[in-house]
Structure 1
Amino acid sequence: MVSVHTSPLAQPGTGDAGGMNVYVLNTARELARAGVEVEIFTRATSSDEAPTVEAEPGVLVHHVPAGPFEGLSKNDLPTQLCAFTGGLLRAEAHRRPGHYDLIHAHYWLSGQAGWVAAERWGVPLVQTFHTLAKVKNAGLAEGDSPEPYTRVIGEEQVVSEADLLIANTAAEAAELQGHYGAPEGRIAVVHPGVDLGVFRPGDRTAAREALNLPQGALVVAFVGRIQPAKAPDVLLRGLARLREQDPELSEKIVPVFVGGPSNTDPYWLPRLAWELGLGDTVQWRSPRSGEALAQVYRAADVVAVPSHNESFGLVALEAQATGTPVVAAKVGGLPTAVAEGRSGLLVDSHSADDWADALRKILGDTSLRADLAGNARTHAALFSWRETATGIRSSYRRAAESHATGRLQSAC
């Protein structure tokens, strides 16, 4: 696996680390448990990192030096693709011929490096984009910077060269076809999963005690990177509008934001909270994962996912796995991750009025909230990382067959 811009060992929720980290690490683990040896190549970002780390038996993470350890944003990394690809090729050169059977690249930067390595080694290239530039630019947050044209070109090249593209949902598969001209026969749809052992229902009272949250409050949680694309400001504006419309209900609400800044002014969201008159009610918490993150979900009455775009929406799935309903934007893969009207509510816009309406509907109706919570775990249980890995292994076989057929046709 190639994951250039973010390590699967990094803490999700800050910088460039997010759902892709969770996806890469968990699929690698499940593949290893099924007998597939996985080596993950990522760019080294600290001199303290060991060159190679065993994440667990069967999963190695290689930190490839490429450019300065710190100070490079994701948009700077195309300048280091040559150095990274060189490191990737050198690693294979120390192995016996044919050591690697297949390359699975994550994000477009990895696809560029994987494309070169796949041609050099004569192996199939499987690509998962996680996000697409043309889709992000079509639903850009106000004030957010569009994805550069170099990324669009890079994605088009990888789509053209990959033996197989793995899409998270049927909606993403349609985007690959519509925006990038990807042939339907070279796309496999494999849903991401959730760790149903870690993210499980538990004691809400104990969770609130652990997080020092008031027991009688209505807790609304946001989990993710604090950046315009994730739209935490949309949630704040919806809460501010709700306070104007229903002050009595709003007095009970405690918003909790769990995450860190991602290539943005670290104070932009707290400033907005104070400007909207919510500064004294919002609680800010640092990024976390595993059981500590599950406690956040259990403590919440509802988890909000207002993103402008999500290829899937792992936060929504994790929250539902703990038995907490979700209010999410009706974009990208979220209509798959959330069962509308059964495990959560979907909002068809990012307007303050619509978000206020949705929040009032779920927070003001105890019976509805209980019904959604009762179905949330059942819906989340349809997704697991083991099932995801099974789908990925099937995709690998398809890619290998396609690659072998293509080489035979070329030889003829």
Structure 2
Amino acid sequence: MKIAFTAPMKPLDDPVPSGDRTMGRLIVKALEAGEHEVRIASRFRSWRKDGSEDLQRAVKRDALAEAERVAKEWDAANYRPDIFLTYHLYHKAPDWIGPALADRYSIPYAIIEASRAPKRRTGPWAFGFSAADEALSRADQVAALHRADSECLSDVVPKDRLRVLLPFLDTSPFETDSRPAQADSISGDKPLKLLTVAMMREGDKTRSYEVLAAALGKVRDLPWHLTIVGDGPARDHVLSLFPPDRITMRSALPPEDLPAQYAAHDLFVWPAIREAFGFVFLEAQASGLGVIAGDTFGVPDIVIDGETGLISPEGDAEAFAQNLRKVLNDRPLAARLGETARDHIKANHRLQAGTRRLNAFLEAAQDQYWHRMPLDKRYAATDLT
């Protein structure tokens, strides 16, 4: 299948690393593994930090001009995709390009990772909210990456066009049995090796670090040592939250260096405040690490509470600390969580599983487009007239 792809939230080659960029790249990789031909239709970014109707109208004008440019490029190359696929759409990042091109070329339109916040129906984001809803209504198939988003989308997307497409990853870099340090810290008296991986930005990331620091402060009587992998403008504040003698700071690392960090630790810890699902939880579990996590949006969809990790209410430092204490007082539990986590990822979240789910999603979009097509156009498409 020939797939035209765009990501209005963040282009796939954006220089700033994020779980969003990683997931977008993985979607393309899984599609190509399924022998689809993926073409990046546009790098246009509709996302804006601040909202106002005038600003969003200007973005819409630029987006439609970009759609016209893409159409001319396609026509010159005699290119016509089988489907237009948009990754990550919401009120701050509406998609005008996909619907315009899908209508122009009479092809199905599909969206992966859509979210909807009804409180944005009015106020400075009302124009973007309405535009996102229009794209959702036009879509032949919409996939949320977790159940919480799916529930919000059900008000505007019919049930037969809405599904949950669980996230996935390429597990090959993380599937290693070399965990030489684990036996000492789990079976002996050495501090349990904790790991967290997250950027240091103001807002929810910083709040997550604050909850983590507060929770760890409640278990200072037990032996643990935390490695932090991350960097950003809030670095000084974040580091001030933790006792220097109990942490190792690794700064931000390139993706290829992360598997070794996971393999060298015993437990992954992150409150994940307001995160869609936390891509790091997939990586940690694929590496054989159990996790201590916050009950945020899609986290329960990828972390099995009591089996691959322990989940506490979002932002609750006391409950997070209780889960930490449970593992710190039962070292073999860390190993059991990690073993189950690795098996869980292999069974449900590998790239191959992503390819199968994406194939089913695209086929459903094509079926929906066909059934929604007026009969005269349907007959013309099959040369029956």
TM-score (norm 2): 0.81
3-state SS in 2 of match to 1:127: strand
Q: Is the 8 A contact 1:222 1:232 kept in 2?
A: no
Match of 1:100 in 2: 81
Q: Is the 8 A contact 1:103 1:125 kept in 2?
A: yes
Which of 205, 226, 243 in structure 2 is aligned with 1:255?
226
Aligned partners of 2:144 and 2:180: how far apart in 1? 39
User: CA shift at 1:111, angstroms?
Assistant: 2.9
Aligned partners of 2:73 and 2:190: how far apart in 1? 56
Match of 2:293 in 1: 328
Match of 2:105 in 1: 121
Which of 4, 8, 21 in structure 2 is aligned with 1:4?
8
3-state SS in 1 of match to 2:194: strand
Code of the aligned partner of 2:87: H
Aligned partners of 2:181 and 2:314: how far apart in 1? 35
Aligned partners of 1:130 and 1:147: how far apart in 2? 20
Based on CA coordinates, which of the two structures has the bigger radius of gyration? 2
Match of 2:383 in 1: none
Aligned partners of 2:118 and 2:229: how far apart in 1? 28
Q: Is the 8 A contact 1:321 1:377 kept in 2?
A: yes
User: CA shift at 1:164, angstroms?
Assistant: 0.8
Match of 1:385 in 2: 351
Code of the aligned partner of 2:336: D
Match of 1:234 in 2: 208
The residue correspondences of 1:143-158 to structure 2 (distance < 5 A) are 148-158=125-135
Which of 356, 362, 366 in structure 1 is aligned with 2:331?
366
Q: Is the 8 A contact 1:342 1:376 kept in 2?
A: yes
Match of 1:297 in 2: 262
Q: Is the 8 A contact 1:114 1:125 kept in 2?
A: yes
User: CA shift at 1:394, angstroms?
Assistant: 1.7
The residue correspondences of 1:51-70 to structure 2 (distance < 5 A) are none
Q: Is the 8 A contact 1:131 1:310 kept in 2?
A: no
Code of the aligned partner of 2:220: P
Q: Are residues 163 and 366 of structure 1, via their aligned partners in 2, closer, same or farther at CA, if it must alter by over 3 Å?
A: same
Code of the aligned partner of 1:167: A
User: CA shift at 1:384, angstroms?
Assistant: 1.4
Q: Does 1:224 align with 2:198?
A: yes
User: CA shift at 1:125, angstroms?
Assistant: 0.6
Q: Are residues 284 and 85 of structure 1, via their aligned partners in 2, closer, same or farther at CA, if it must alter by over 3 Å?
A: farther
Q: Is the 8 A contact 1:256 1:282 kept in 2?
A: yes
Q: Are residues 176 and 353 of structure 1, via their aligned partners in 2, closer, same or farther at CA, if it must alter by over 3 Å?
A: same
3-state SS in 2 of match to 1:129: strand
Match of 2:173 in 1: 198
CA RMSD of aligned residues (A): 3.1
Code of the aligned partner of 1:85: A
Match of 1:312 in 2: 277
Aligned partners of 2:124 and 2:116: how far apart in 1? 9
Q: Where do 4+ consecutive residues of structure 1 move more than 6 Å?
A: none
Q: Are residues 386 and 105 of structure 1, via their aligned partners in 2, closer, same or farther at CA, if it must alter by over 3 Å?
A: same
Match of 2:381 in 1: none
Deviations 1:276-310 (A, max 9, x none): 45356444434345441111222222212312333
Match of 2:370 in 1: 404
The residue correspondences of 1:352-363 to structure 2 (distance < 5 A) are 352-363=317-328
Aligned partners of 2:206 and 2:195: how far apart in 1? 10
Aligned partners of 1:386 and 1:118: how far apart in 2? 28
Q: Is the 8 A contact 1:257 1:283 kept in 2?
A: yes
The residue correspondences of 1:256-295 to structure 2 (distance < 5 A) are 256-261=227-232, 266-267=233-234, 269-274=235-240, 276=241, 278=243, 281-295=246-260
Query: Which 10-residue stretch deviates more, 292-301 or 309-318?
Result: 309-318
Aligned partners of 1:130 and 1:341: how far apart in 2? 29
Q: Does 1:19 align with 2:25?
A: no
Q: Are residues 90 and 236 of structure 1, via their aligned partners in 2, closer, same or farther at CA, if it must alter by over 3 Å?
A: same
User: CA shift at 1:241, angstroms?
Assistant: 4.6
TM-score (norm 1): 0.76
Aligned partners of 1:372 and 1:188: how far apart in 2? 29
Code of the aligned partner of 1:256: T
Aligned partners of 2:194 and 2:118: how far apart in 1? 31
The residue correspondences of 1:72-221 to structure 2 (distance < 5 A) are 75=50, 78=56, 79=59, 80-96=62-78, 99-108=80-89, 109=93, 111-134=95-118, 148-177=125-154, 180-205=155-180, 216-221=190-195
Q: Is the 8 A contact 1:242 1:360 kept in 2?
A: no
Query: Which 10-residue stretch deviates more, 119-128 or 196-205?
Result: 196-205
Aligned partners of 2:230 and 2:285: how far apart in 1? 19
Q: Is the 8 A contact 1:229 1:308 kept in 2?
A: no
User: CA shift at 1:20, angstroms?
Assistant: 2.6
Aligned partners of 1:10 and 1:288: how far apart in 2? 17
User: CA shift at 1:206, angstroms?
Assistant: 7.3
Equivalenced residue count is 355
Aligned partners of 1:94 and 1:110: how far apart in 2? 27
Code of the aligned partner of 2:12: P
Q: Are residues 74 and 298 of structure 1, via their aligned partners in 2, closer, same or farther at CA, if it must alter by over 3 Å?
A: farther
Q: Is the 8 A contact 2:211 2:271 kept in 1?
A: no
Code of the aligned partner of 2:136: V
Query: Which 10-residue stretch deviates more, 349-358 or 281-290?
Result: 281-290
Q: Are residues 163 and 103 of structure 1, via their aligned partners in 2, closer, same or farther at CA, if it must alter by over 3 Å?
A: same
Q: What percentage of aligned pairs have identical amino acids?
A: 22
Q: Is the 8 A contact 1:220 1:303 kept in 2?
A: yes
User: CA shift at 1:272, angstroms?
Assistant: 4.6
Structure 2 unpaired stretches of 5+: 183-188, 379-385
